[in-house]
């Protein structure tokens, strides 16, 4: 019985192709669904696995093994083991930047902040959402860059690539408006310490909200939603990427945890209505539920802007504890990440071994379709 279970888990925890961990120009859709009951095709698979394990009722031993099987079936495909990171401890820099209508100034200002963070020991630097442009539907088409062409067509990412290479650091480049053909995206680029583009995440969940008397914003008026979750292996570990509104969707964070992420980075710009209520709460929930680190970075608050950001860039640990944060003004936070505590936290609260695959299931459609 024990060998059968070990064989099953081992066979399902094989590495997945890296092409499925990054953005694709031909994404698989739909992306991710959370099912409250087991779908027909996976229900059959569930029955087959139980038969293979020869699970029978009215037996304490088989009941324990069945419980383990149910946990394994709660995520489809089964979660990948947490990979050994390239380093255990390092410093992260969160650059909460003021943003102006002057794009050239914004780029130079971001470069200076990254350099300062690196001088203070940061090996990973995170920038805010839409740091090179005012946050507005009118501005997105004007400030958009063709990231795939690069060079003069994308001065913002050209700067990020140059600085990452020069300083030998990893940069999660916040987000900028991206133009691709006749479409616009809200896009985050990740650059390795060699200056090469390692991943590109297009905001999956567009910020379309209407709170009467408070705030109305419809990103979908100008932007197109991304289709692909993004997990990238870097010199500072495996990182999942989300942008602002993406943080509200726990399914995406669960996908990243199931793909072995050590850290999720969310550049974001929560507003003065939802920020006080939900910004820190969302970060702590995503970190605690998935037992990993969460880092966020916001633009600094500008009371005279058309869209006023809440600020409060933050690093949260895997117990949901706030490790470092700032207020609303421009600032650079340097904080330490220690991956050695991830396994400790997961041993203390063994969520992954207690899920009920007989009652609910998270299906990572990208990995599911690749099997």
Strands 263-267 and 237-241, by their bridges, are parallel
Listed residue (274, 335, 344) closest to 93, CA to CA: 335
CA distances from 95 to 207, 261, 293 (A): 22, 22, 17
Listed residue (131, 114, 129, 132) closest to 168, CA to CA: 114
- Spatial neighbors of 159 by CB under 8 A, at least 6 apart, are 107, 110, 111
User: What is the rounded CA–CA span in Å between residue 206 and residue 218?
Assistant: 8
In the chain, % helix, strand, coil (3-state, to 5) comes to 35, 25, 40
> Both tokens of residue 194?
């060699």
User: What is the rounded CA–CA span in Å between residue 203 and residue 200?
Assistant: 10
Q: Which residues pair with 189 in a beta bridge?
A: 200
Q: How many CB atoms lie within 10 A of CB 78?
A: 19
Question: CB–CB of 156/107 below 8 Å?
Answer: yes
Catalytic residue annotation: 129, 203, 244
| Cα-Cα-Cα-Cα dihedral sign, residues 367, 357, 319, 5 | negative
User: What is the rounded CA–CA span in Å between residue 158 and residue 150?
Assistant: 7
What single-letter DSSP state applies at residue 137? T
Q: Which residues pair with 47 in a beta bridge?
A: none
């Amino acid at each position: 019985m024990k060998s059968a279970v070990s064989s099953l888990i081992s066979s399902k925890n094989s590495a997945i192709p890296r092409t499925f961990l990054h953005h694709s120009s031909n994404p698989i859709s739909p992306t991710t669904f959370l099912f409250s009951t087991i779908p027909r095709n996976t229900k059959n698979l569930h029955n087959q696995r139980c038969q293979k394990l020869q699970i029978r009722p009215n037996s304490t031993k088989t009941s324990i093994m069945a419980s383990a099987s149910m946990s394994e079936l709660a995520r489809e495909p089964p979660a990948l083991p947490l990979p050994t990171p390239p380093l255990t401890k390092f410093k992260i820099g969160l650059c909460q930047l003021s943003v102006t209508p002057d794009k050239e100034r914004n780029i130079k200002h971001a470069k200076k902040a990254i350099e300062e963070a690196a001088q203070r020991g940061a090996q990973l630097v995170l920038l805010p959402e839409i740091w090179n442009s005012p946050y507005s539907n009118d501005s997105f088409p004007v400030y958009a860059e063709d990231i795939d062409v690069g060079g003069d067509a994308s001065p913002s990412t050209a700067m990020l690539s140059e600085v990452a290479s020069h300083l030998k650091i990893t940069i999660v480049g916040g987000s900028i408006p991206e133009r691709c053909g006749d479409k616009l995206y809200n896009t985050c680029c990740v650059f390795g310490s060699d200056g090469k583009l390692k991943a590109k995440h297009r905001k999956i969940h567009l910020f379309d909200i209407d709170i009467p008397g408070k705030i109305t914003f419809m990103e979908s008026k100008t932007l197109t939603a991304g289709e692909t979750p993004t997990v990238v292996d870097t010199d500072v570990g495996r990182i999942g990427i989300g942008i602002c509104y993406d943080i509200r969707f726990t399914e995406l964070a669960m996908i990243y945890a199931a793909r072995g992420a050590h850290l999720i980075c969310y550049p974001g710009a929560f507003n003065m209505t939802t920020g006080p209520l939900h910004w820190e709460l969302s970060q702590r929930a995503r970190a605690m539920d998935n037992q990993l680190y969460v880092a966020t970075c916001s633009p600094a608050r500008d009371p005279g802007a058309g869209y006023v950001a809440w600020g409060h860039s933050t690093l949260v640990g895997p117990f949901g504890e706030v490790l470092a944060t700032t207020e609303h003004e421009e600032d650079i936070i340097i904080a330490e990440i220690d991956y050695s505590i991830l396994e400790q936290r997961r041993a203390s609260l063994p969520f992954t071994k207690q899920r009920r695959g007989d009652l609910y299931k998270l299906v990572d459609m990208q990995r599911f379709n690749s099997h």
